[in-house]
């Protein structure tokens, strides 16, 4: 349905979710065996859960951060990095993922709307610092020295990062592409409607139909490691040399 249109595309917004990293060995949230089957969301992904049992929460994210060392970017991450390098128009890559696989796949500019595992947020001075170590031992904030670091991950009930910039890009894009997300969590789940309302074409690449599949002009089903490189090839081919 979108074939033939790719040549006219000048501004693309891409939204990725846990599905793009699934083939790299990082658990998704809602799939069978996913993170939310093994943990109660209220315990590990809310400010209230953190207040109740900080050790549980710090340990949960310490484990997830450590697991990144055993995961490598897959063909989907690398294809998006290639698109960033070779697409002649504007591209905004927004991810709900807190892993660093887009960066390690070669993408230079990634907007992490739900924060990052390798970042610490100080609840005293509110500084965000790059962070690779554990937090369970209550290390001091590199800026104010208070032992009040928390994972720089946006929890349920908190405001995602850079929403203004994202909505601005959705307003002006001519193509919105959603990759590997269940469309269960707002505000990200609403991006497709926002983009459509303002005239963009919309494409979903996912393993199975998501909650919002019917909102897209086109849905392609399959593993991201196959679908994303195929789509990137299509865009770059249409663009010509």
What's the CA gap between 78 and 165, in Å, rounded?
24
What's the min distance (Å) between Cβ of 218 and ligand APR? 15
Beta bridge partners of residue 175, listed in sequence order: 12, 201
Greatest extent of the chain over all pairs of C-alpha atoms, in Å: 57
The SS3 of residue 12 is strand
Set 77, 102, 112, 114: catalytic member? 114
- Which of 41, 63, 133, 143 contacts ligand NAD by CB under 6 A? 41
Q: Is 185 in the site for ligand NAD (CB under 6 A)?
A: yes
- Residue 8 contact, options ligand APR, ligand NAD, none, Cβ 5-8 Å cut-off depending on partner type: none
Q: Is 167 in the site for ligand NAD (CB under 6 A)?
A: no
Residue 114 is among the residues annotated as catalytic for this protein? yes
Applying CB under 6 A, which part among 26-34, 100-108, 134-142, 165-173 lies near ligand APR?
26-34
The two tokens of residue 16 are 């990725």
Binders of ligand APR in range 194-223 (CB under 6 A): 206-208, 210, 223
Q: If you write DSSP's letter for every residue of 90-147 in order, what string do you get? A: EEEEEE---SSHHHHTT-S--EETTEEEEEEEETTT--EEE--S-STT-PPPTTT--S
What's the min distance (Å) between Cβ of 40 and ligand NAD? 8
Catalytic residues: 114
């Amino acid at each position: 349905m979108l074939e033939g249109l790719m040549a006219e595309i000048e501004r693309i917004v891409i939204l990725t979710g846990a599905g793009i990293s699934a083939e790299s060995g990082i658990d998704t949230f809602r799939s069978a065996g996913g993170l939310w089957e093994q943990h109660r969301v209220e315990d590990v992904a809310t400010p209230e859960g953190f207040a109740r049992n900080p050790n549980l929460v710090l340990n949960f994210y310490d484990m997830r951060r450590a697991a990144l060392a055993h995961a490598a970017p897959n063909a989907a991450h690398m294809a998006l990095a290639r698109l960033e390098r070779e697409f002649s128009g504007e591209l905004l890559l927004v991810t709900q993922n807190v892993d660093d696989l887009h960066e390690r796949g070669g993408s230079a500019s990634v907007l992490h709307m739900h924060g990052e595992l390798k970042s610490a947020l100080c609840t005293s001075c509110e500084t965000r610092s790059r962070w690779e170590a554990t937090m369970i031992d209550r290390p001091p904030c590199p800026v104010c020295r208070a032992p009040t670091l928390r994972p720089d991950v946006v929890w349920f009930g908190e405001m995602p990062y850079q929403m203004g910039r994202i909505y601005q890009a959705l307003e002006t894009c001519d193509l919105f592409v959603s990759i590997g997300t269940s469309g269960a969590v707002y505000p990200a789940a609403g991006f497709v409607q926002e983009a459509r309302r303002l005239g963009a074409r919309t494409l979903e690449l996912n393993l199975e139909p998501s909650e919002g599949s019917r909102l897209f002009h086109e849905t392609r089903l399959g593993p991201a490691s196959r679908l994303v490189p195929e789509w990137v090839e299509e865009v770059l081919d249409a663009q010509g040399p």
